[in-house]
Amino acid sequence: MNMLMETVVVLLILTNLMLLGTSRLFACIRLVAFQGVVLGCLPVLVHSGHVGARAVGLAVGTILLKGVVFPRLLFRALREANIRREVDPFVGYSVSIFAGILALAVSIWTTRHLTIPGPGVSTLIFPVSLFTILVGLFHIVSRRTAISQVLGYLVLENGIYTFAVVIVGEVPLMVELGVLLDIYVAVFVMGITIYHINREFDHIDADQLDSLKG
Amino acid sequence: MNPELLIVALLVLPAAGAGLCLLLPSPRAVFAAILACVAGMAALSAAAAAHVHTRGPVRTAWDWLFVDSLSTYNLLVMTLVFLMSSAAARQYFRGEDRLSPHLARRFGALWLGSLSGMNLVLISNSVGLMWVGMEAATLLTAFLVCIHRTQASLEATWKYLLICSVGIAFAFMGTLLTAASAHAPLLTPAESLLWTRLLEVAPRLDADTLKVGFVFLIVGYGTKAGLAPMHSWLPDAHSQAPAPVSAVFSGFMLSASLYCIMRFVPLVEAATGNSGWCLRFLVLFGVVSILVSAAFIVFQKDLKRLLAYSSVEHMGIIALGVGLGGLGTFAALFHTLNHSICKTLAFFCAGRLGQIYGTHDMSRLAGTVKRAPVCGSGLFWSFLALLGMAPFAIFMSELQILKAAADAGAWWPFSLFLLGAGIIFVGALRHAISMAWREPGEPGKPEEAVWEDVFLVVVPLVALAVLGLWMPELLKQMLWRAANTVAGSAR
């Protein structure tokens, strides 16, 4: 079990770094979907020994939502907007990857003194979830298109999800369902807004949404 | 009525009303349904408040729902804001011919939907459920910003959605860290999100984890509350949303997220040995918000953006009051009520003026007192009240916060608060006088006064003046109980 957990951690770090270095938006969506599927396995992996129906249900729900529904929504938005890649982001791709590595170092360094009480599943989980949150934030501020910003938001949510499943463990099912539903609606609402922005402005360049100031 | 049933009714009524709105045929019927539903909520909240006041907190639904004096007080403020702004919305959309039945149905459903989201925030005992309510309110109000779809309103919606979603995500991380700080054997995982259970074991929570969590919480919910420097979405959304929606944003949604922060204050205080660790953050964010908004108000050109920055200022004042503790918390809660009433009124007048003049640009809003006697003078008086002019109630609550700062010997916040409020007073009064009495370039026909408008303007102003001069004993007791809940001394 522990071995599998470490694999998940490594996959998480790799997908984050790859995302920072990818310009084609289709590939970005696939990467985030893959990350969602990997994370969907976490609820089953953390319970060594018996696996309850609750954990399986959560895993299936997460995989369906993050691996199937979100990518579909985003692919559709992408086709409507008729763009393929993130042209000319604020921060270049190689610099982004270096920033990512720096963020990883920072999250390991800042969390080394903080021991979260509870079962010590993997010492790397907290720093890696923090790293994922930082990558999500970085992706939101360093890219121009609205789609990339939604992807950044999803990565941020993935980071929080990792923490939730592994460290906190059994939060009541209703809360978890509420959270999943909220994220689903958030992405859905963002998708609709992107659709309307595309129709009104003829582009989805969030950088050019700058008429409101002061 | 059975108190537990009362809470469940509070939960169900607005959601049912939202569903009903989707089925109604005409805008008239939709607004009648909204008003009926909000009035029902007001009656239920009053009943809940009376019960809590006489017999203490109520828990139900396996401890998931819980009301105490802090939540009933906020429930009353919320229903008051919704009553005022629903009536205002009816007036506002009457002056607009663009509201088709389809749009009215959507407006009604979103309006009552966001009411039920904020209501869930107030009545839930589980901090997870509280978060769900806040997120739901955010998403539903996003569509209210762009009910009239223009480029500017879409831009505002996008910024609002993205910035607040990230903020709310941070708040969720903070909620999780709070749960993690109460790990077994202290509390079982199912209990570790229940506020009442957390409060019972608060001195034994893991202080370091909780501190990290509180930083996430104050940044997260602070974004939603519009505390500077996380306020950047606020002026855009407020200026683009229809005026009644802005009124609900400013009047209660911001206070609702401050309420979320207030729920965590006693937990962190008890866990850190009442050292005032988390209160210092609130003072810092409060003072920064006051100063930042002062800078933007002086050079503001747009009326609704000015009111939005004024909300940043007042949220800062409330945060500062809570951060000072004791009398400060009491005054901050009182300030919540005063600001909500006053800002709802100000946005109502600003919206009507915007419809009459066709713009919110303050350089083109001139001679409002002559052109629109009711709303023009209503706006002027609400400016005076917002700026803290005596005898309006905001003057009293700000004075009490200053007194709390002086008593605590917090001279830096004291003087910075005075400095910021002074700059805002001069800057905003200049705008207000110029709008009210400057000679207009093109003279327009004066608007006729409608009795509904007069009612909506006069009643809040009288209420503010009365509250400034005389505070009912009942309100005082309620406020002290709520303040003691935030201080962690009410068990």
Q: Is the pLDDT of residue B190 over 90?
A: no
Nearest-neighbour CA in chain B from A57: distance (Å): 18
Q: Is the pLDDT of residue B307 over 90?
A: yes
3-state secondary structure chain B: CCHHHHHHHHHHHHHHHHHHHCCCCCHHHHHHHHHHHHHHHHHHHHHHHHHHHHHCCEEECCCCEEECHHHHHHHHHHHHHHHHHHHHHHHHHHCCCCCCHHHHHHHHHHHHHHHHHHHHHHHECEHHHHHHHHHHHHHHHHHHHCCCCCHHHHHHHHHHHHHHHHHHHHHHHHHHHHHHCCCCCCCCCCCCCEHHHHHHCHHHCCHHHHHHHHHHHHHHHHHHHCCCCCCCHHHHHHHHCCHHHHHHHHHHHHHHHHHHHHHHHHHHHHHCCCCCHHHHHHHHHHHHHHHHHHHHHHCCCEHHHHHHHHHHHHHHHHHHHHHHCCHHHHHHHHHHHHHHHHHHHHHHHHHHHHHHHCCCECCCCCCHHHHCHHHHHHHHHHHHHHCCCCCCHHHHHHHHHHHHHHHCCCHHHHHHHHHHHHHHHHHHHHHHHHHHHCCCCCCCCCCCCCHHHHHHHHHHHHHHHHHHHCCCHHHHHHHHHHHHHHHCCCC
- Asked whether residue B3 is domain-assigned, the answer is no
* The residue count for chain B: 491
Q: Is the pLDDT of residue B234 over 60?
A: yes
- Asked whether residue B206 is domain-assigned, the answer is no
- Indicate the SS3 state at residue A24: strand
Average pLDDT, chain B: 90
Q: Is the pLDDT of residue B490 over 60?
A: no
- Asked whether residue B381 is domain-assigned, the answer is yes
Cα separation, B217 vs B261, in Å, equals 7
Cα separation, A123 vs A116, in Å, equals 10
| Tens digit of each residue's pLDDT (9 = 90 or more) over A82-112 | 777 777 788 888 899 999 999 999 998 888 7
∠ Cα A154 B168 B282 (to 5°): 145
- Asked whether residue B387 is domain-assigned, the answer is yes
State the residue range of the domain holding B348: 283-491
B178 phi and psi angles, rounded to 5 deg = -60, -45
Region A36-59: what's the mean pLDDT?
Answer: 79
Cα separation, B342 vs B388, in Å, equals 11
Question: At B9, which amino acid appears?
Answer: A
Residues of B in contact with A186 (CB under 8 A): 135, 139, 161, 165
Cα separation, B478 vs B458, in Å, equals 26
What DSSP state is assigned to residue A205?
Answer: B
Closest chain B residue by Cα to residue A169 = B189
Chain A contact present for B6, CB below 8 A: no
| pLDDT of B340 | 95
> Which of B62, B131, B140, B155 to mutate against chain A (most A CBs within 10 Å)?
B155
Region B376-389: what's the mean pLDDT?
Answer: 93
Q: Is the pLDDT of residue B221 over 80?
A: yes
Q: If pLDDT is split at 50, 70 and 90, which confidence band does B291 have?
A: very high
Q: If pLDDT is split at 50, 70 and 90, which confidence band does A163 have?
A: confident
| Tens digit of each residue's pLDDT (9 = 90 or more) over B104-124 | 999 999 999 999 999 999 999
Closest chain B residue by Cα to residue A162 = B173
Q: Are the Cβ atoms of B212 and A114 closer than 8 angstroms?
A: yes
Tell me chain B's radius of gyration from C-alpha atoms.
21
Closest chain A residue by Cα to residue B136 = A182
* Residue A179 contacts residue B130 (beta carbons within 8 Å): no
Nearest-neighbour CA in chain A from B18: distance (Å): 17
Chain A contact present for B179, CB below 8 A: yes
| pLDDT of B184 | 67
Closest chain B residue by Cα to residue A211 = B152
Q: If pLDDT is split at 50, 70 and 90, which confidence band does A118 have?
A: low
* Residue A8 contacts residue A38 (beta carbons within 8 Å): yes
Q: Is the pLDDT of residue B98 over 90?
A: no
Region B435-446: what's the mean pLDDT?
Answer: 80
Distance of CA B127 to the CA centre of its chain: 19
Q: If pLDDT is split at 50, 70 and 90, which confidence band does B491 have?
A: very low
Taking an 8 Å Cβ-Cβ cutoff, which residues of chain A contact chain B?
Answer: 114-118, 133, 137, 140, 146, 149, 153, 156-157, 160, 163-164, 167-172, 174-175, 178-179, 182, 185-186, 189-190, 193, 196-197, 200-201, 206, 209-212, 214
Q: Is the pLDDT of residue A52 over 90?
A: no
Q: What is the count of residue pairs from A and B with beta carbons less than 8 Å apart? A: 131
Contacts of residue B216, defined as CB under 8 A and 6 or more positions apart, other chains included, come to: B170, B171, B173, B174, B177
Q: If pLDDT is split at 50, 70 and 90, which confidence band does A119 have?
A: low
Distance of CA A120 to the CA centre of its chain: 24
| Tens digit of each residue's pLDDT (9 = 90 or more) over B58-88 | 888 788 899 999 999 999 999 999 999 999 9
Chain A contact present for B368, CB below 8 A: no
Q: Are the Cβ atoms of B180 and A179 closer than 8 angstroms?
A: no
Residues of B in contact with A189 (CB under 8 A): 139, 142-143, 161
Nearest residue to B148 (alpha-carbon basis) of B24, B231, B233, B239? B239
> Which of A189, A194, A202, A203 to mutate against chain B (most B CBs within 10 Å)?
A189
Chain A contact present for B112, CB below 8 A: no
Cα separation, B334 vs B444, in Å, equals 40
Sign of the alpha-carbon torsion through B321, B323, B329, B334? positive
Percent of chain B residues past pLDDT 70, beyond the cut: 98
Task: List B126's β-bridge partners, or say none.
Answer: B194
Q: If pLDDT is split at 50, 70 and 90, which confidence band does A171 have?
A: low
* The residue count for chain A: 214
In chain B, residues 291-350 whose CB comes closer than 8 Å to chain A: 296, 299-302, 305
Please identify which residue in the block is written with the tokens 């937990």. Answer: B267
Q: If pLDDT is split at 50, 70 and 90, which confidence band does A19 have?
A: very high
User: How many domains is chain B built from?
Assistant: 1
Question: At B379, which amino acid appears?
Answer: L
Q: If pLDDT is split at 50, 70 and 90, which confidence band does A169 have?
A: low
- Asked whether residue B288 is domain-assigned, the answer is yes
Region B452-477: what's the mean pLDDT?
Answer: 92
Residues of A in contact with B126 (CB under 8 A): 172, 175
Cα separation, A173 vs A178, in Å, equals 8
Residues of B in contact with A116 (CB under 8 A): 177, 180, 183, 206, 209
Copy the structure tokens of residue B89. 């919305």
Q: Are the Cβ atoms of B190 and A209 closer than 8 angstroms?
A: no
| pLDDT of A2 | 73
Contacts of residue A77, defined as CB under 8 A and 6 or more positions apart, other chains included, come to: A147, A191, A194, A195, A198, A204
| Tens digit of each residue's pLDDT (9 = 90 or more) over B238-284 | 999 999 999 999 999 999 999 999 999 999 999 998 888 999 999 99
Q: If pLDDT is split at 50, 70 and 90, which confidence band does B319 have?
A: very high
* Facing residue for B158 by CB, picked from A118, A209, A214: A209
Region B161-175: what's the mean pLDDT?
Answer: 91
Q: Are the Cβ atoms of A175 and B126 closer than 8 angstroms?
A: yes
* Facing residue for A182 by CB, picked from B135, B176, B181: B135
Percent of chain B residues past pLDDT 90, beyond the cut: 64
Q: Are the Cβ atoms of A117 and B183 closer than 8 angstroms?
A: yes
Q: Are the Cβ atoms of B151 and A170 closer than 8 angstroms?
A: no
* Residue B307 contacts residue B343 (beta carbons within 8 Å): yes
Copy the structure tokens of residue A98. 């270096």
Closest chain A residue by Cα to residue B156 = A212
Q: Pick B112 or A162 by higher pLDDT.
A: B112
B450 phi and psi angles, rounded to 5 deg = -105, 145
Q: Is the pLDDT of residue A1 over 60?
A: no
Copy the structure tokens of residue B390. 């005596």
Q: Is the pLDDT of residue B461 over 50?
A: yes
- Indicate the SS3 state at residue A145: strand
Closest chain B residue by Cα to residue A120 = B183
- Asked whether residue B109 is domain-assigned, the answer is no
Please identify which residue in the block is written with the tokens 């979103």. Answer: B110
- Asked whether residue B18 is domain-assigned, the answer is no
ipTM over 0.85: yes
Q: Is B358 exposed, middle or buried (0-12, 13-18, 19+ CB in 10 A)?
A: exposed
Residues of B in contact with A146 (CB under 8 A): 158
- Asked whether residue B417 is domain-assigned, the answer is yes
